[in-house]
Amino acid sequence: MTALLEAPSVRPPRLSPLNRRRLDNFRANRRGWWSLWIFLVLFVLTLGAEFIANDRPILVFYKGEVLAPAFVNYPEARFGGFLATTNYRQPFIAEEIAANGWAVWPPVRFSHGTVDGYAAFSGPNPPSWLMSHQTFCQRYPLGVEDPDCHWGNFHWLGTDDRGRDVLARLIHGFRISILFGLMLTVLSSVIGVVAGAVQGYFGGWTDLIFQRVIEIWTSVPALYLLLIISSVIAPSFWVLLGILLLFSWVTLVGIVRAEFLRARNFEYVTAARALGVPNHIIMWRHLLPNAMVATLTFMPFILSGSVATLTSLDFLGFGLPPGSPSLGELLAQGKNNLHAPWLGLTGFFTVAIMMTLLVFIGEAVRDAFDPRKTFA
């Protein structure tokens, strides 16, 4: 998001007065400004999801060595076992480490896929702070006395129907949603801007043919295509990104094309042509800045749209591969487990807050670029 806001200031070392005024306008919109900061904090925090919710310690000091299990896969042999990967949550490993050193755990000791074997009930567990200490510890080997029955193993938002920690899934799912959305937004904007620029700048037959192709393309039902593809292959993150990209790049084409159509007859463009400046440089230096305002205005909305698309596909079960942390899957679980309202409520509030923040930011960006406000 910072990139979105600072993009116009890239060329000149200082902000041009116009961009200065836009930034001030953006700041003056308290709601958007605060939304941006809240969103940035959430985004940066979840970028480090491994440090917040992980079933491995961040650092381990073991027999005079410093190990970083959060980053490196150590075979269990290292700690006296025989498996290829180490399950640090196992009492055997934990005791071994405690006897020969120490471990620094993240605040939530579950990753998005970790099934809590000691969860109090089978099926969805309510948030641990709603249970008595006895109930919470009832499945641990030593009951209330068990050293592992402490707040690090709390399920702050409960577990889903497979005993996975909801908070951990939420943190990882938020990250995946935003990264997916950002990537989709940036890629489809780049493609859309290039396509729109070429159509608008060259006009004529290029424009005519390209426009007809886009019309046909947009009439392809993307959802059915996704259904068909996901029945053939299990869509991974990248396949899903690719398929959605096939259809999302057309969003910006219209606006950028219109901007280029308008601006290509500006006299300073004619002047550049008379200087013999090559077409691609004219488009980059003289025309693209005109189209950037429209593009930047649209970007936050494309981002929220992309996030919503991914969430809804996950909800329907056509999204990310099974087991991936995703907000849509959480919502689907909430729908299937109405007796466990923490699932649905968590999913709902997360998606609602995320969308609200993005829309507020988008509105503020749009208003900041509004020429009527900029020149008032």
Which one of residues 271, 284, 335, 345 is an interface residue with other proteins (CB under 8 A)?
271
Could you say whether residue 270 binds other proteins (CB under 8 A)?
yes
Distance CA 325, CA 330 (A): 8
By CB under 8 A, which span of 54-62, 185-193, 281-289, 308-316 interacts with other proteins? Answer: 281-289
Q: Give the number of other CB atoms < 10 A from CB of residue 296.
A: 19
Region class of 375: left (phi > 0), else alpha (psi between -120 and 50), else beta: alpha
Burial 218-245 (b: 16+ CB within 10 A, else e): eeeeeeeebeebbeeeebebeebbebbe
Which one of residues 183, 277, 316, 355 is an interface residue with other proteins (CB under 8 A)?
277
CB-based contact 333:343 (threshold 8 Å): yes
Could you say whether residue 267 binds other proteins (CB under 8 A)?
yes
Which one of residues 286, 315, 325, 327 is an interface residue with other proteins (CB under 8 A)?
286
Q: How far is the CB of 270 from other proteins (least distance, A)?
A: 6
Following DSSP, what letter does each residue of 267-304 receive, concatenated?
HHHHHHHHTT--HHHIIIIIIHHHHHHHHHHHHHHHHH
CB-based contact 98:148 (threshold 8 Å): no
Which one of residues 73, 99, 228, 276 is an interface residue with other proteins (CB under 8 A)?
276
Question: What tokens were used for 30?
Answer: 């308290």
Could you say whether residue 273 binds other proteins (CB under 8 A)?
yes
Could you say whether residue 371 binds other proteins (CB under 8 A)?
no
Which one of residues 266, 280, 345, 349 is an interface residue with other proteins (CB under 8 A)?
266
Could you say whether residue 99 binds other proteins (CB under 8 A)?
no
Q: Residue type for 167, please? A: L
Instruction: Pick out residues in 5-34 that bind other proteins (CB under 8 A).
Output: 11-12, 16
Instruction: Pick out residues in 288-347 that bind other proteins (CB under 8 A).
Output: 289
Burial 263-277 (b: 16+ CB within 10 A, else e): bbeeeebeebeeeee
By CB under 8 A, which span of 108-116, 140-148, 153-161, 267-275 interacts with other proteins? Answer: 267-275
Q: How far is the CB of 18 from other proteins (least distance, A)?
A: 9
Given the rule CB under 8 A, which residues bind other proteins?
A: 11-12, 16, 266-268, 270-278, 281, 285-286, 289, 376
